[in-house]
Structure 1
Amino acid sequence: MRITYYSADMDAASWIPGLQAALPGATVTLWEPGAPQADYAVVWKPPQQLLDEQTSLKAIFNTGAGVDALMQLRLPAGVPVIRLDDAGMSVQMAEYVCHAVIRHFRELDGYESDMAMGKWSFRKPRSRVDYPVGVLGLGVLGERVAKSVAQFDFPVNGWSQSPKTIAGVQSFHGAAQLDAFLAASRIVVCLLPLTPDTENILNAQRLAQIRPGGYVINVARGAHVVDADLLAAIDGGHLAGATLDVFRVEPLPQGHAFWNHPKITITPHTSARTLRSESIAQIARKIAALQNGQTVAGRVDAARGY
């Protein structure tokens, strides 16, 4: 069995030995143009040339939760694309989102600013019932986030393409219920996959549906948010601010309005990082299962884009 590995930005020097140790019967090599045919490809943002040249693949494994980069390529017919189920990312995402929600709700950003100026201040406590949190996207990560936020007694709404039932979460689904979901939420957390249907989903029209004084947390993809519309909604007073971990261009270009906006908190796409050891173990288990003719979780529906 031969495995080819490629990553646009991950450390091959660590991944290849890790995959080799987890699958001692396999030959794992770094993909280069003209590389030998492989049975499986383990990739992150591969070039089209890899997919065109590797004509014997049984499956393609994506080393991250988001598969939007792969979906932009011409995929080989009949070859399954398999994403990571979790690999330690859901708990990281839950930590990040809960921190952002609580930081905004408790006005810790305001206290931080006041303390930096030597000001001893007091703010009236807020009621959680006035700050329902809406999780936009209820996949593996979104469901974990919704359940975690609910542990802090916030009302939690969830929206997904198809119906889902999660204890403690008021569920909305489908395009017909998206506006109702937004209107029921004051803090909106974007955890959607990026597809043609979800690109620019948080535009001026949709942002206006969020409850007045609302707050946006984007930990999915930068292209979900129309930057100018978000800035206008904040500067116009409809939204109180935003926490953004993802951007249309990364690294975020110097001079972008997000860098120094007083009501926007930014982080460098770090809300949930791929954990190499857990990811390798998961991929190895799935390859072994496929070799034995078993089905595996995480198969991407190319028609839906996730």
Structure 2
Amino acid sequence: MLTVLFADRIENWPAYEPALTTALAEAGIDAKLVLPPADPATVDYIVYSPRGPVQDFTAYTRAKAVLNLWAGVERVVGNPTLTQPLCRMVDEGLERGMVEWVTGHALRAHLNIDFFLSHQDGVWRQEGNVPPLARDRSVVVLGLGALGGACAQTLAGLGFQVTGWSRTQKTLPGVTCLSGAEGLRAALSRAEILVTVLPNTPETTDLLNTETLALLPKGAVILNPGRGNLIDDDALLAALDAGQIGHATLDVFRVEPLPPEHPYWAHPKVTVTPHIAAETRPASAARVIAENIRRFEAGEVPLHLVDRSRGY
């Protein structure tokens, strides 16, 4: 029998315990779930959260893998005590949540819904306010992994002109895929709506800065459900004040929760959502965990194995 350590916050245990029990049984895995402080020498797999109680993996010499419950691994990938394989979380529920958040806010920007919500004053303002069709709107998605790729293809399915950019060249049906430094500049120059779904790595820190924000078409809209470090906050605020950026809808931040005094809260061209775009859901996440344990036990390639040299 395998021993699986649940190393997330204890308040999440009531939701995850039945989900993991069911998923492991359905995958044909004979396992028992334990909580810290279980004997590290008995643990075969660690279901991990960066907010959980386990941050030092030194004693877990028997553990075959650390299975992250979050899509982001920036809080653990550089941990010097982590010698086990690390898998990030990409599950159907998380992916659909991201797609729905991005699609909703892209359509909100495309249809200029905020304008009409703020002008419910009895004045008929049809002239100049009819939106273009989606096929006449250019949307750019930075990051074409599982989440970004799903967003790009959904937006393309709605008829938008979708360009995707990634560090390595990708191919997606209905999406113009670019890569590299010149590809990034070309992508930004056409981004009427820009969606950022990149991971947190040294290469992506402050990717949107004074120089790159200036490449966007004037009045562009930014949607960031990816990582807070992607944006230079001061540069974005300056670009919003200057009218270079028309609006920013932000779901992730360098410091979370976003401090009450942060200027994003009061800025008229910023919408803050509280990191809700892609939340891990116990039932679907448990199935990914169980499948990865099955794969490790069978000697198969695991899902979403982290490349430590790239940081994701």
Matches within 5 A, 1:99-138: 99-115=104-120, 119-122=123-126, 123-127=128-132, 128=134, 131-138=137-144
1:145-180 Cα shifts (integer Å, max 9, x gaps): 001111222111100011111111111102332111
Q: Which amino acid aligns with 1:20?
A: T
Work out whether 1:245 is the aligned partner of 2:246. Answer: no
Number of equivalent positions: 304
Aligned residue among 143, 150, 154 for 2:156: 150
Q: Which amino acid aligns with 1:23?
A: L
Q: Please give the root-mean-square deviation of Cα atoms over the aligned residues, in Å.
A: 2.0
Aligned to 2:96: 91
TM-aligned CA distance change 1:90 to 1:42, over 3 Å: same
Tell me, in whole angstroms, the C-alpha distance in 2 between the residues paired with 1:55 and 1:203: 43
Tell me, in whole angstroms, the C-alpha distance in 2 between the residues paired with 1:71 and 1:47: 16
SS of the equivalent of 2:239 reads helix
Aligned to 1:11: 12
Work out whether 1:140 is the aligned partner of 2:146. Answer: yes
Matches within 5 A, 1:1-306: 1-8=2-9, 11-23=12-24, 25-32=30-37, 35-45=40-50, 46=52, 49-77=55-83, 79-115=84-120, 119-122=123-126, 123-127=128-132, 128=134, 131-306=137-312
Tell me, in whole angstroms, the C-alpha distance in 2 between the residues paired with 1:38 and 1:16: 17
Tell me, in whole angstroms, the C-alpha distance in 2 between the residues paired with 1:61 and 1:148: 28
The alpha carbon displacement at 1:58 in A equals 0.5
What is the TM-score normalised by the length of structure 2?
A: 0.91
Q: Are the counterparts in 2 of residues 135 and 191 from structure 1 also a CA contact under 8 Å?
A: yes
The alpha carbon displacement at 1:19 in A equals 2.1
Question: Sequence identity, in percent?
Answer: 36
Tell me, in whole angstroms, the C-alpha distance in 2 between the residues paired with 1:157 and 1:47: 41
Tell me, in whole angstroms, the C-alpha distance in 1 between the residues paired with 2:135 and 2:201: 33
Q: Which amino acid aligns with 1:258?
A: Y
TM-aligned CA distance change 1:75 to 1:195, over 3 Å: farther
Tell me, in whole angstroms, the C-alpha distance in 1 between the residues paired with 2:118 and 2:242: 21
Q: Are the counterparts in 1 of residues 189 and 217 from structure 2 also a CA contact under 8 Å?
A: yes
The alpha carbon displacement at 1:34 in A equals 5.9
The alpha carbon displacement at 1:118 in A equals 5.6
SS of the equivalent of 1:50 reads coil
SS of the equivalent of 1:242 reads strand
The alpha carbon displacement at 1:238 in A equals 0.6
Q: Are the counterparts in 2 of residues 33 and 50 from structure 1 also a CA contact under 8 Å?
A: no
SS of the equivalent of 2:144 reads coil
1:112-171 Cα shifts (integer Å, max 9, x gaps): 1112x5655334223346531100000001111001111222111100011111111111
Q: Are the counterparts in 2 of residues 6 and 12 from structure 1 also a CA contact under 8 Å?
A: no
The alpha carbon displacement at 1:269 in A equals 0.6
Q: Which amino acid aligns with 2:262?
A: H
TM-aligned CA distance change 1:8 to 1:226, over 3 Å: farther
Tell me, in whole angstroms, the C-alpha distance in 2 between the residues paired with 1:143 and 1:240: 25
The alpha carbon displacement at 1:181 in A equals 1.3
SS of the equivalent of 1:304 reads coil
Higher mean C-alpha displacement, 242-251 vs 49-58: 49-58
Greater relative contact order (Cα < 8 A, sep 6+): 2
Unaligned runs of 5+ in 2: none
The alpha carbon displacement at 1:9 in A equals 7.8
Higher mean C-alpha displacement, 290-299 vs 47-56: 47-56
The alpha carbon displacement at 1:35 in A equals 4.6
Tell me, in whole angstroms, the C-alpha distance in 1 between the residues paired with 2:10 and 2:150: 27
Q: Are the counterparts in 2 of residues 48 and 73 from structure 1 also a CA contact under 8 Å?
A: no
Q: Are the counterparts in 2 of residues 48 and 74 from structure 1 also a CA contact under 8 Å?
A: no
The alpha carbon displacement at 1:21 in A equals 3.6
SS of the equivalent of 1:11 reads helix
Tell me, in whole angstroms, the C-alpha distance in 1 between the residues paired with 2:190 and 2:309: 30
